A and B are shown apart, each in its own frame.
Chain A
Amino acid sequence: MRFFDTLKQYDWEQIKDSIYAKTKQDVLHALNQAQCGLEDFKALISPAAAPFLEQMAQKSMLATQQRFGKTIQLYVPLYLSNTCSNSCVYCGFSHQNKIERVTLSEDQILKEAMAIKQMGFEHLLLVTGEHQKEAGFTYLMRAIELLRPHFAQISVEVQPMSTEEYQQLRQAGLHAVYVYQETYHQENYKNYHPAGKKANFQYRLETPDRLGKAGIHKIGLGCLIGLEDWRSDIWHIALHLSYLEKTYWQSRYSISFPRLRPNAGGFQPNMVISDRELLQVICAFRILNQEVELSLSTRESPTFRDHVFKLGITAMSAGSKTEPGGYAVHTKALEQFEVSDQRSPKEIESMLHEKEYEAVWKDWDRYM
């Protein structure tokens, strides 16, 4: 059994219609359940739930506090390479773009890592473009071996790999893998991903299955909000999460909410999600699932992050640089996305303290 078989049982348009058909009564029913299911979740992400955002936020905040306490985990991305053989039409690292390509050497990786350690981080997220030769399995294995002695927890956001490769990386100390489907709309997926390995919808979709089989501790899901109807994509994430939790019950799960914004010259999103709607999605996920990690990156503005972190979020990045060498080495590489929240990790920690939350820098260990 793999998720592709589950997905085949659902029709995108029917799902979409059923979400938009949800009524006020459906929303009230969902809010009054001790535990929501996937039908209730449709109501919570539907337009009918918009007037109930305050109630959703309150419910979400309490559920998050009960499970995670008044704490936020802090992590930071380390971009190792922007070399990429994919041609995702929305991405700055796309193979088509004539940009300076940089892959950090071992010395450079360690220099960057030491700068990150100085900021206080114990949880590190390694990011690369998808390039088998420049930044494939062998390169990543070496990077993890180099970094393992210095960090309590190492995660990656890199190209999908095989079960065996994931097993080897886990033994070397890999904790979590984030792999975003971008969109669950199979037909339109290929328009956004016309070339490279990423053009294979099914291989990408089944990556979390391979991660679960490999015993990876935490598996990160997500879609790029702005490609297809976001309510339908978000519901498919919930379906995916529910399948994975039952199948790979020893893994934890995480969801991120990257959203595309209109920008001059670049890819224009097909659909824009507002701040209110993004908060609605975050609260809906928490009401559906009390254990899942919900993460908010520095793509979001300081104002949004400062208000939303209490309402369902459990992990935040801080002080992020999204170009290889951004912390210490300083190359000519371009950043993958524009960082909106430019504050330092210490400033984020102070903000959390002011709002009576504890910043958690370390929640794992090398032996685990």
Chain B
Amino acid sequence: MQKLIIAGQEFNSRLFLGTGKFSSNQLMEEALIASGSEMVTTALRRVDIQNPEDDILKHIDPNRFRLLPNTSGVRTAKEAVFAAELAREALQTNWLKLEIHPDPKYLLADTIETLKACEELAKKGFIILPYMQADPILAKQLEEAGAAAVMPLGSPIGSNKGLITREFIKIIIEQANIPVVVDAGIGAPSHAAEAMEMGADAVLINTAIAVANDPIKMAEAFKLAVQAGRMAFEAKLGAQLNQAEASSPLTSFLDL
């Protein structure tokens, strides 16, 4: 399997994990390990970044995982930039998952503010992975603004509905020069495998693992699904046809 490269860093796993909604930080850590993931995102608002003994951060081993702080909860570009700078100083990382959702119900990304923040943060030297609507134009604009990868949604955060935005994600993948990470809405390993078969570079999962009856086993299931989907993509899937393909009914007379 090819390695994933984002901003020059290699990743052996194409599965990223979120840290919310687990019933304990201990269980979260065990699920992270079982998933084989090397990239873990956590909401800045949940951690006490000034406190080295913070209970969430203590459970994310920096030797195993790259920590990807996210700005979930901010509503504007201004708040996002402020949060990013705090995170960079306190957590000693310039990696950032940019999330700006002014709508607290469906947590959909604000396109205008996200683009604005991405431009500004790129100038400040951040490695930015923006959460975004599955909008192919926006994906190109974010790429031009300096994003290290784009993270379009499959369906609303936490909905487990899978790849509702499938057709748009295909266009984003086709046009992208940077990695495409499908984020949000992936509710089952089969959804993750589908995204990988389509050519997504990685997927990010949180709710489907954290809320499962057995999060550790589910983490492993996602690990296998992501591997299977990626391998299928690299092996090149056969085309899907609506009918069985016999011979060449229109042109076979030429062979007679």
Across the interface, do B45 and A65 meet the contact criterion of CB distance under 8 Å? no
Interface residues in B61-94 by Cβ distance below 8 A to A read 73-75, 79, 82-83, 86
Interface residue count on the B side (C-beta < 8 Å): 27
Q: A250-B103, A365-B45 are in contact. Are A69 and B21 (CB under 8 A)?
A: yes
Q: Which of A4-12, A226-234, A320-328, A353-361 contacts B (4 or more CB under 8 A)?
A: A353-361
| Contact among B22, B47, B83, B86 for A358, CB-based, below 8 A | B22
A66 contact set on B, CB distance < 8 A: 158, 160, 207, 211
B48 contact set on A, CB distance < 8 A: 122, 152, 362
Q: What is the distance, in angstroms, from B99's C-beta to the closest C-beta of chain A?
A: 12
Q: What is the distance, in angstroms, from A206's C-beta to the closest C-beta of chain B?
A: 22
Across the interface, do A70 and B21 meet the contact criterion of CB distance under 8 Å? yes
Q: Which residue of B lies closest to A368 (CB)?
A: B73
Q: What is the distance, in angstroms, from A120's C-beta to the closest C-beta of chain B?
A: 11
B136 at the interface (CB under 8 A from A): no
Across the interface, do A365 and B83 meet the contact criterion of CB distance under 8 Å? yes
A142 at the interface (CB under 8 A from B): no
Q: What is the distance, in angstroms, from B173's C-beta to the closest C-beta of chain A?
A: 28
| Contact among B73, B104, B211 for A70, CB-based, below 8 A | B211
Can you list 16 contacts pairing A with B, beta carbon distance less than 8 Å?
Answer: A66-B158, A69-B23, A69-B207, A69-B210, A70-B21, A70-B22, A152-B45, A245-B105, A250-B103, A251-B104, A291-B105, A358-B24, A363-B45, A365-B83, A368-B45, A368-B83
A152 contact set on B, CB distance < 8 A: 45, 48
Across the interface, do B74 and A368 meet the contact criterion of CB distance under 8 Å? yes
**6 smallest beta-carbon distances between A and B, as pairs:** A69-B21, A70-B23, A252-B104, A356-B23, A365-B45, A250-B102
Q: What is the distance, in angstroms, from B97's C-beta to the closest C-beta of chain A?
A: 16
Across the interface, do B45 and A362 meet the contact criterion of CB distance under 8 Å? yes
Q: How far is B86's CA from A250's CA once the two chains are assembled, in angstroms?
A: 24
Across the interface, do A363 and B46 meet the contact criterion of CB distance under 8 Å? yes
Q: Which residue of A lies closest to B85 (CB)?
A: A367
Interface residue count on the A side (C-beta < 8 Å): 26
Q: Which residue of A lies closest to B207 (CB)?
A: A66
Q: How far is B25's CA from A365's CA once the two chains are assembled, in angstroms?
A: 20
B224 at the interface (CB under 8 A from A): no
5 further A-B contacts with Cβ under 8 Å, apart from A69-B20, A71-B22, A152-B48, are A66-B160, A67-B158, A245-B105, A250-B102, A364-B45
A249 at the interface (CB under 8 A from B): yes
A68 at the interface (CB under 8 A from B): yes
Q: A66-B160, A252-B104 are in contact. Are A71 and B21 (CB under 8 A)?
A: yes
Q: A69-110 CB contact bits vs B (8 Å, 1 = yes)?
A: 111000000000000000000000000000000000000000
B138 at the interface (CB under 8 A from A): no
Interface residues in B1-34 by Cβ distance below 8 A to A read 20-25
| Contact among B24, B83, B103 for A249, CB-based, below 8 A | B103
- Chain B residues at the A interface, C-beta cutoff of 8 Å: 20-25, 44-48, 73-75, 79, 82-83, 86, 102-105, 158, 160, 207, 210-211
B105 contact set on A, CB distance < 8 A: 245, 249, 291
Across the interface, do B82 and A367 meet the contact criterion of CB distance under 8 Å? yes
B22 contact set on A, CB distance < 8 A: 69-71, 358
Q: A250-B75, A365-B45 are in contact. Are A68 and B21 (CB under 8 A)?
A: yes
Q: How far is B193's CA from A185's CA once the two chains are assembled, in angstroms?
A: 54
Q: A221-250 CB contact bits vs B (8 Å, 1 = yes)?
A: 000000000000000000000000100011
Q: How far is B21's CA from A231's CA once the two chains are assembled, in angstroms?
A: 32
- Chain A residues at the B interface, C-beta cutoff of 8 Å: 65-71, 122, 152, 245, 249-252, 291, 353, 356-358, 360, 362-365, 367-368
Across the interface, do B23 and A357 meet the contact criterion of CB distance under 8 Å? yes
A71 contact set on B, CB distance < 8 A: 20-23
Q: How far is B211's CA from A28's CA once the two chains are assembled, in angstroms?
A: 27
B211 contact set on A, CB distance < 8 A: 65-66, 69-70
Q: Which residue of B lies closest to A215 (CB)?
A: B75
B24 contact set on A, CB distance < 8 A: 353, 356, 358
B86 contact set on A, CB distance < 8 A: 367
Q: Which residue of A lies closest to B71 (CB)?
A: A368
Q: How far is B44's CA from A152's CA once the two chains are assembled, in angstroms?
A: 12
A69 contact set on B, CB distance < 8 A: 20-23, 207, 210-211
Q: How far is B102's CA from A251's CA once the two chains are assembled, in angstroms?
A: 8
Q: How far is B207's CA from A122's CA once the two chains are assembled, in angstroms?
A: 25
B73 contact set on A, CB distance < 8 A: 364-365, 368
A249 contact set on B, CB distance < 8 A: 103, 105
Q: What is the distance, in angstroms, from A263's C-beta to the closest C-beta of chain B?
A: 37
B20 contact set on A, CB distance < 8 A: 69, 71
Q: How far is B103's CA from A65's CA once the two chains are assembled, in angstroms?
A: 20
Q: Which residue of A lies closest to B210 (CB)?
A: A69
Q: How far is B73's CA from A364's CA once the two chains are assembled, in angstroms?
A: 8
Q: How far is B170's CA from A32's CA once the two chains are assembled, in angstroms?
A: 34
| Of B45, B74, B103, B160, most A-chain CB atoms within 10 Å | B45
| Contact among B46, B79, B158, B160 for A362, CB-based, below 8 A | B46
Q: What is the distance, in angstroms, from A102's C-beta to the closest C-beta of chain B?
A: 32
Q: How far is B83's CA from A104's CA once the two chains are assembled, in angstroms?
A: 34
A291 contact set on B, CB distance < 8 A: 104-105
B83 contact set on A, CB distance < 8 A: 365, 367-368
Q: What is the distance, in angstroms, from B81's C-beta to the closest C-beta of chain A?
A: 10
Q: What is the distance, in angstroms, from B40's C-beta to the closest C-beta of chain A?
A: 16
| Of A68, A70, A122, most B-chain CB atoms within 10 Å | A70
Q: Which residue of A lies closest to B24 (CB)?
A: A358
Q: How far is B104's CA from A358's CA once the two chains are assembled, in angstroms?
A: 22
